[in-house]
Amino acid sequence: MTKATLPATAALALLGLAGGASAAEPIRIGVVTPLSGTYAPIGQQVRWGLELALKEVNAAGGIMGRPVELLFEDEEANPAVATQKAEKLFQVNKVDFLTGTVNSGSTLAVGQLAERNDRLIATTVSFSDAITTDKCSPNVFRVNARAGQQSAALAEWLAKDKPQAKVYYLGPDYEMGRSTVAAFKAAAEKTGAQSTGEVFAPLDSKDYSQYFGQLRAARPAVLYTSTAGNDTVRLLTQMSEYGLLRNLTVVGASGTVTAQNIGAIGKAADGFVTGVGYSAELDTPENKAFVAAFRKAYDAAPDLYGADSYGLLAFYKAAVEKAGTTETAKLREAMRGLQWPTPQGLKTMRAGDHQAIQDMYAVRVTEGRFTIVGTVPGEAAIGPDLCARF
Amino acid sequence: MREAVMTAVSLPRSPSRGPLNATHWLALLFLAVALVFAAVAWTTGNGFYLRLATEALIFAGLAMSVDLLLGYTGLLSLGQALYFGLGAYVSALVLRDGAPSFWLATGAALAAGALAGLVGGVIANRVKGVYFALITFGLAQVVAKAVYNTRELGASDGIIGIPQIRVTLGPLALDTADPLSFFLFVLGLTMAVYAGLAYLMDAPFGRTLAAIRANEKRVPFLGFNAWGHKLAVYVLAACVAALSGALYPMLRGFVSPELLFFHTSGNAVVTVIVGGVGTLIGPIAGSVLLTALRSVVGSWTEHHLIVVGVIFMLSVIFLRKGLVGALLPWLERRAAARARHGRRSAP
């Protein structure tokens, strides 16, 4: 009895929702993002980016004449909280679409929940390759660049700027650190770089000088590192004190040198190169307009999270207008292969794995600022489609 | 005879005992409220609240396991999430890679919980007081970090793709995907665990634990083995936590290392203190209350941690025995008054 009634009522409710959606009824988008805790600064950028885009979309008449509404929930960067909040948005608030998850575990768990609720989600932040490769889901889209694109962009730049370079790798000794190094190593070797050795230091190492002997003996021209936060501060300042930064190009993951730790690293950060999907310095009219509007609204510069979240609403708008509906199956079809405008220029959603294709940039730290030193076209950085599920 | 035993091991603070004391009435009241809630949620077609309540009951199991140690034996465990997470991971792996069988998954989780509890108990029970708290905390951190860095266990991403299953109970079968039937099932299981533990705590085993809490050094003079009892209750608590953990992936379809983090252990301790230490039903009520509160306040403001924190502080200051601890004396007075009244009116 129970089992027969519940799906029936659910179906009726869905029908009612689809049928009753009048022109004035708002389109609701749920945003499950960390608003408290360690990841709150990322959640803040996500929120700013989305709210700025919301203002502009609604001022221009909404999506298909319907105003857009954002409903925020704090996921505390914890998948167990994120699924609970996402379920509330899906079932109680009846959102049409969901976004905002930051850590990859949350994106994967919420993606599975979206499948079970027959809704679509998109992440604007999560890097983990798994989301659009071996753990891909027909209900999950990623509008930002994944880790593989970042390392591919950096490897492309390296091959062009320092062909056949001898590279040494120094990573933090935990799963993410090791997999980041492995991914870049594979990409760099494919473009002709020679690996001269690798070493993994424990997280929160106080003293990196014990690795400097090995590093010097390998005589590399390039050092790749995937440390983050204060580890980078110690690594780079100690290398600078030992005079190791002369004649050595330091490259790294996009989280290695950030706005948070660049001040503490100081001059030792100069010359550091990384691959990213966005920089506020991008010299295009779209980006200049976006940065100006962002600064005016929040008195802060956007970072890649803010920019990609801002671009998400354009993606959703373009998809809904192409599909002519917010219905899941039709919307998914519309999103596949879709092109949409973002501050980084036109992005394309690859149909095979739901990963956005976009131009990537190599940026170098020069006197405390990130300047763009190379652009890698989207097709060169995207890599093969490894999603087998659809 | 029963009375004689009770006075022999007369203990400082413990709610009144008897075949159906005030705590048990509270448990029945809780069950009734839960059933009314289920009926209302089902008639209004509210699957989300049923599933939220199911999650609250799952974490209530973890809180009961903390209460066994903290409330009955006087051992503060800051690492109970270790066994909860262990149960969740074992259940997830069995359901995904083994067979989608409820009994196999919970059986494996219980076995793993008992084994890990035995190892952890031998290590942790070497020390007392604050050192016990620190060791349990450390053990859980070590395992959490190991899981976080093990690629085979999904590392920081956790494991998704755990199927929704059918639970067979003799002639009956229910679907974990159906919010109502899974809620009722978990409710039944939680109340059964509660009843079993409450019985055990009233039995000589529980009295010995209370004696250990009151004064461990004197217990051997009464002819009891304090260390053995402490190890036994630690293993029991680990099994309860592992059993609750085993239910988590059935509800949510994934596990992640966050389930093992201090966040989870700490929340369980907070739940026990807000609900009422040493009552078993208090942690259940506390879990339901805090889960509901987090969900509602969390949607309303991002400063929900402050709200929950203030409530915790207020309850520590004003309700020193927790919610249930504040209700019990009142209930007991009423029961006593009724009993006196009954005796007088009897012929």
Q: Tell me, what CATH number does B308's domain have?
A: 1.10.3470
Structure tokens, A366: 């020069």
Whether the pLDDT of residue B4 is over 70: the answer is no
List residues in chain A touching B: CB distance below 8 A.
2-3, 6, 9-10, 13, 35-36, 72-74, 78-80, 83-85, 87-88, 90-92, 103-105, 108-109, 111-113, 116, 128, 130, 135, 174-176, 179
A109 vs B160, B181, B257: nearest CB: B160
B253 vs A9, A10, A112: nearest CB: A112
Report which of A100, A154, A108 is spatially closest to residue A125, judged by C-alpha positions: A100
Chain B residue numbers with beta carbons less than 8 Å from the beta carbon of A79 are 158, 254, 256, 258
Chain B residue numbers with beta carbons less than 8 Å from the beta carbon of A176 are 155-156
Interface contact B157-A113, CB threshold 8 A = no
Chain A residue numbers with beta carbons less than 8 Å from the beta carbon of B251 are none
- Give the nearest chain B residue to A177 (CA atoms): B149
Report which of B201, B249, B252, B248 is spatially closest to residue B229, judged by C-alpha positions: B201
Chain A to chain B, count of Cβ pairs less than 8 Å apart?
A: 102
Q: How confident is the model at residue A229 (pLDDT cuts 50, 70, 90)?
A: confident
Whether the pLDDT of residue B15 is over 60: the answer is no
Residue B8: the pLDDT is: 38
Interface contact B295-A175, CB threshold 8 A = no
B302 vs A36, A78, A111: nearest CB: A36
Please check whether residues A248 and A153 belong to one and the same domain. yes
Interface contact A84-B175, CB threshold 8 A = no
Q: How far is A3 from chain B (nearest CA, A)?
A: 7
Q: Give the mutation candidate from B258, B294, B296, B305 for the A interface (greatest A CB count, under 10 A).
A: B258
Q: What is the pLDDT of residues A122-178, one digit of tens each?
A: 999 998 888 999 899 999 999 999 888 988 889 989 999 888 999 999 998 887 888
Please check whether residues A52 and A82 belong to one and the same domain. yes
Residue B216 in any domain: the answer is yes
Whether the pLDDT of residue B13 is over 50: the answer is no
Whether the pLDDT of residue A2 is over 50: the answer is no
Chain A residue numbers with beta carbons less than 8 Å from the beta carbon of B164 are 116
Chain A residue numbers with beta carbons less than 8 Å from the beta carbon of B179 are 6
Domain end call among A276, A299, A329: A276
Residues 6 or more apart whose CB falls under 8 angstroms from that of B35 comprise: B187
Residue B343: the pLDDT is: 58
| B168 in contact with A, Cβ within 8 Å | no
Please check whether residues A210 and A310 belong to one and the same domain. no
Interface contact A113-B148, CB threshold 8 A = no
- Give the nearest chain A residue to B41 (CA atoms): A6
Distance, CA of A263 to CA of A151 (rounded, Å): 24
Structure tokens, B292: 């509901």
Q: How far is B298 from chain A (nearest CA, A)?
A: 7
Residue B5: the pLDDT is: 39
Interface contact B252-A128, CB threshold 8 A = no
Chain A residue numbers with beta carbons less than 8 Å from the beta carbon of B158 are 79, 105, 108-109
Lowest mean pLDDT among B121-125, B204-208, B234-238, B310-314: B310-314
Query: Could you tell me if B66 and B269 are in contact, meaning their C-beta atoms sit under 8 angstroms apart?
Result: yes
Residue A350 in any domain: the answer is yes
Distance, CA of A156 to CA of A382 (rounded, Å): 12
Q: What is the pLDDT of residues B48-66, one digit of tens each?
A: 999 999 999 999 999 999 9
Radius of gyration of chain A (CA): 22
B158 vs A10, A36, A79: nearest CB: A79
Residues A318-338, mean pLDDT to the nearest whole number: 94
Report which of B153, B182, B25 is spatially closest to residue B86, judged by C-alpha positions: B153
C-alpha distances in angstroms, A378 versus A348, A350, A381? 9, 11, 5
- Average model confidence (pLDDT) across chain A: 89
- Give the nearest chain A residue to B261 (CA atoms): A78
Report which of B182, B184, B186, B166 is spatially closest to residue B61, judged by C-alpha positions: B186
Interface contact B258-A79, CB threshold 8 A = yes
Distance, CA of A151 to CA of A129 (rounded, Å): 11
Whether the pLDDT of residue B315 is over 90: the answer is no
Residue B11 in any domain: the answer is no
Chain A residue numbers with beta carbons less than 8 Å from the beta carbon of B303 are 36
Please check whether residues A243 and A265 belong to one and the same domain. yes
Whether the pLDDT of residue A288 is over 70: the answer is yes
Interface contact A109-B155, CB threshold 8 A = no
Interface contact B175-A13, CB threshold 8 A = no
Residue A289 in any domain: the answer is yes
Residue B6 in any domain: the answer is no
Q: How confident is the model at residue A40 (pLDDT cuts 50, 70, 90)?
A: confident
Any alpha helices (H) in A162-266, and if so which ranges?
A: 175-190, 212-218, 229-241, 262-265
Chain A residue numbers with beta carbons less than 8 Å from the beta carbon of B180 are 2, 6
Domain hosting A203: range is 149-276
Q: What is the pLDDT of residues A179-213, one digit of tens each?
A: 889 889 998 998 889 999 999 998 888 999 999 99
Chain B residue numbers with beta carbons less than 8 Å from the beta carbon of A13 are 45
Number of domains composing chain A: 2
Residue B7 in any domain: the answer is no
Q: What is the pLDDT of residues A241-273, one digit of tens each?
A: 999 998 899 999 888 888 778 888 999 999 999
A78 vs B48, B178, B263: nearest CB: B263
Residue B5 in any domain: the answer is no
Higher pLDDT, A65 or B298: A65
Lowest mean pLDDT among A230-234, A381-385, B265-269: A381-385
Query: Which of B:109-128 have CB within 8 Å of A?
Result: none
Please check whether residues A290 and A141 belong to one and the same domain. yes
Please check whether residues A295 and A260 belong to one and the same domain. no
Q: How far is A92 from chain B (nearest CA, A)?
A: 7
Q: How far is A299 from chain B (nearest CA, A)?
A: 21
Whether the pLDDT of residue A70 is over 70: the answer is yes
Q: What is the pLDDT of residues B72-116, one digit of tens each?
A: 999 999 999 999 999 999 999 999 998 899 999 999 999 999 999
Coil, strand or helix: which one is B30?
helix
Please check whether residues A117 and A262 belong to one and the same domain. no
Residue B342: the pLDDT is: 61
Residue B8 in any domain: the answer is no
Chain B residue numbers with beta carbons less than 8 Å from the beta carbon of A72 are 302
Between strands A356-357 and A249-252, the pairing is: unpaired
Which CATH number goes with the domain that contains A126?
3.40.50.2300
Report which of B147, B135, B7 is spatially closest to residue B69, judged by C-alpha positions: B135
Residue A179 in any domain: the answer is yes
Question: Which stretch, A146-160, B236-250, B287-301, has highest mean pLDDT?
Answer: B236-250
Number of domains composing chain B: 1
Please check whether residues A40 and A120 belong to one and the same domain. yes
Q: Which helix (H) or strand (E) holds B214?
A: helix B204-214
Give the number of other Cβ atoms within 10 Å of residue A175's Cβ: 17
Interface contact B160-A83, CB threshold 8 A = no
Interface contact B45-A79, CB threshold 8 A = no
Please check whether residues A110 and A155 belong to one and the same domain. no
Residue A31: the pLDDT is: 96
Please check whether residues A206 and A129 belong to one and the same domain. no
Structure tokens, A276: 């990213």
Interface contact A36-B304, CB threshold 8 A = yes
Residue B222 in any domain: the answer is yes
Between strands A140-142 and A120-123, the pairing is: parallel
Place of tokens 């575990």: A105
Residue B10 in any domain: the answer is no
Residue A8 in any domain: the answer is no
Radius of gyration of chain B (CA): 20
| B265 in contact with A, Cβ within 8 Å | no
Whether the pLDDT of residue A292 is over 60: the answer is yes
Please check whether residues A159 and A139 belong to one and the same domain. no
Domain end call among A255, A276, A297: A276
B295 vs A84, A91, A103: nearest CB: A84
| B247 in contact with A, Cβ within 8 Å | no
Distance, CA of B326 to CA of B321 (rounded, Å): 6
Overall residue count recorded for chain A in this entry? 390
Residue B80: the pLDDT is: 96
Domain hosting B65: range is 18-338
Query: Which of B:281-300 have CB within 8 Å of A?
Result: 295, 298-299
Residue B344: the pLDDT is: 56
Whether the pLDDT of residue A82 is over 70: the answer is yes
Interface contact B157-A2, CB threshold 8 A = no
Whether the pLDDT of residue A349 is over 70: the answer is yes
Q: What is the pLDDT of residues B127-186, one digit of tens each?
A: 988 999 999 999 999 999 999 988 899 888 899 999 999 998 888 888 898 999 999 999
